[in-house]
Chains A and B, each alone.
Chain A
């Protein structure tokens, strides 16, 4: 399209370009706002002072201390595992759920939609205590079943740990994916799925080949939200985790309560840097794969 030749068009197009330019500046500004605390904590992770008050010189002491702190490193590993599994399960449950609720007229559809909404609305302490009561109530039954099924040599025990933590995290994470995907499906052109179906694709193939690529941006943003929430949640996790499945936010919470410790700045910086690098690598792999 050659805008310059038609004067009537230049004005509004100029207007839109200006709007986009302004939005770009705004984005930069908001990003600065978002990164201000991050920049600060990275700076302080190299500060010789124990307190985040004055600059007392450069040091890598906190990084050394962090690496030597076994509970912290273990919590980081736990967290990555829990957030990763949570994200995958949430994406699967949330995306299929959103698509099904979008494309079929289920009986009691409103009720199902309202139920999905409950984990978003319920206060964390209520969810944590509710799940704790549930898990402790069913544990003897499940363990009895495991013992009778696998005999006396059975070592598998149902107790608070990784499984319960992941269950809890998926419960409050998958609705985020569902809501994000549903918003996108709402204005998806139904003709696309129709065309696929008309061309003889089964609904499942149509979903996988046509719908999923179309809603991919929403799936990615839903996955990001799920991962972020799982990496950040403290209170529900407190109630459902066991000693070996303690997550990083919980470990940080326990350590930071009595005032900031630069070691925690250091581990945050490392984690952020590591994930950023991983993402860049993943993007590279994806592009090479094409």
Chain B
């Protein structure tokens, strides 16, 4: 193990020569041209004012922090707001009646609330994806090569049908007069069809369905690489399956899980369209709200500010995480050395 540690330091720790830099150049140039430049243009735009008619940024019209202020605070400059909410009860015939009031404190800025709910949705989605995806990735990773490649293809094929087509298929299944309700009624499990669509649950289902493969594939990569003799050794030494999983398997597949979390959570926060298709648009997500600034709100600078905030948030979280790890997805050279 000492030797392994030493070589780890040598391979991962070489200073790049000219060749090393030249090889990295294509990627860096690509990133500079197609990521850095557009992002900087829009970051600059996020400090401008919007043209009154078109909503486009006025690039030469002076700079302002107004857009960022509007994300955090409401029109009156408040961060929190106390509201008198009416308590309503719904009568048996469906009519609403006001029966009282109570005070609630909410975050005043609407856009900040949307950020919050998007993070929550993405978080739930990521956790579900890990739990659903891990056993599957494990099974695929432990199968023989032929089965493995077939299973991988099987996982990806449904996603080549087009997002809207898949989503419409789900809508057909979940609708009030849809297949699932029909099946449940046919088997007498329920007597009245109930509305599954256009609920937060349907949004989560849509998100999990969309992102599951992006969790399975990276975990699979780690599992496939896992040295099975370590698992056998632990079992031989009397550790139960659970302890083996916790002490050996989980730490060794952690890079895969981290990569999966990255590929699911981050895009899921910015996801658009699912909330309007599966959730009926009742709980807007930040991806939709950002789009609205460009497409209906006619305020490009504000849309840019929202987008840049989202990116900045992630990059910051990413940088903090990276400080504690030797590489993005968590290297376990440390584990090896131990």
CA distance A38 to B307 in the complex (A): 33
Residues of chain A at interface, number, CB under 8 A: 106
Q: Which residue of B lies closest to A251 (CB)?
A: B162
Assuming A118-B315, A122-B307, A130-B41, is B14 touching A225 (CB within 8 A)?
no
In the assembled complex, B272 has its CB within 8 A of some CB on chain A? yes
Q: List 11 A-B contacts (CB under 8 A).
A: A15-B241, A100-B27, A105-B12, A123-B290, A124-B287, A134-B34, A179-B328, A217-B225, A249-B162, A271-B161, A276-B153
Chain B residues, Cβ within 8 Å of A73: none
Nearest-neighbour CB distance to chain A for B157, whole angstroms, equals 6
CA distance A19 to B252 in the complex (A): 18
| Contact segment of A141-149, A153-161, A226-234 | A226-234
- The 4 lowest CB-CB distance pairs between A and B, nearest first, are A130-B38, A37-B169, A126-B307, A221-B217
In the assembled complex, A220 has its CB within 8 A of some CB on chain B? yes
CB < 8 Å: which of B3, B11, B27, B140 contacts A27? B140
In the assembled complex, B190 has its CB within 8 A of some CB on chain A? no
Nearest-neighbour CB distance to chain B for A264, whole angstroms, equals 6
Chain B residues, Cβ within 8 Å of A231: 159-160, 162
In the assembled complex, A91 has its CB within 8 A of some CB on chain B? no
Assuming A180-B221, A183-B256, is B155 touching A34 (CB within 8 A)?
yes
CB < 8 Å: which of A12, A22, A124, A179 contacts B135? A22
A34 contacts B212, C-beta separation under 8 Å: yes
Nearest-neighbour CB distance to chain A for B313, whole angstroms, equals 8
Chain B residues, Cβ within 8 Å of A232: 159-160, 162-163
- Interface membership of chain B positions 196-224, coded 1 if the CB is closer than 8 angstroms to chain A and 0 otherwise: 00000000000001001110011011101
B217 contacts A115, C-beta separation under 8 Å: no
A96 contacts B23, C-beta separation under 8 Å: yes
B139 contacts A20, C-beta separation under 8 Å: yes
CA distance A253 to B273 in the complex (A): 12
CA distance A220 to B314 in the complex (A): 27
| Contact segment of B75-83, B87-95, B98-106, B329-337 | B329-337
Chain A residues, Cβ within 8 Å of B333: 190
Q: Which residue of A lies closest to B165 (CB)?
A: A268
Chain A residues, Cβ within 8 Å of B185: none
In the assembled complex, B111 has its CB within 8 A of some CB on chain A? no
CA distance A103 to B333 in the complex (A): 13
Assuming A13-B235, A120-B263, is B173 touching A36 (CB within 8 A)?
yes
Nearest-neighbour CB distance to chain B for A8, whole angstroms, equals 8
Chain B residues, Cβ within 8 Å of A189: 4
B165 contacts A41, C-beta separation under 8 Å: yes
CA distance A180 to B260 in the complex (A): 8
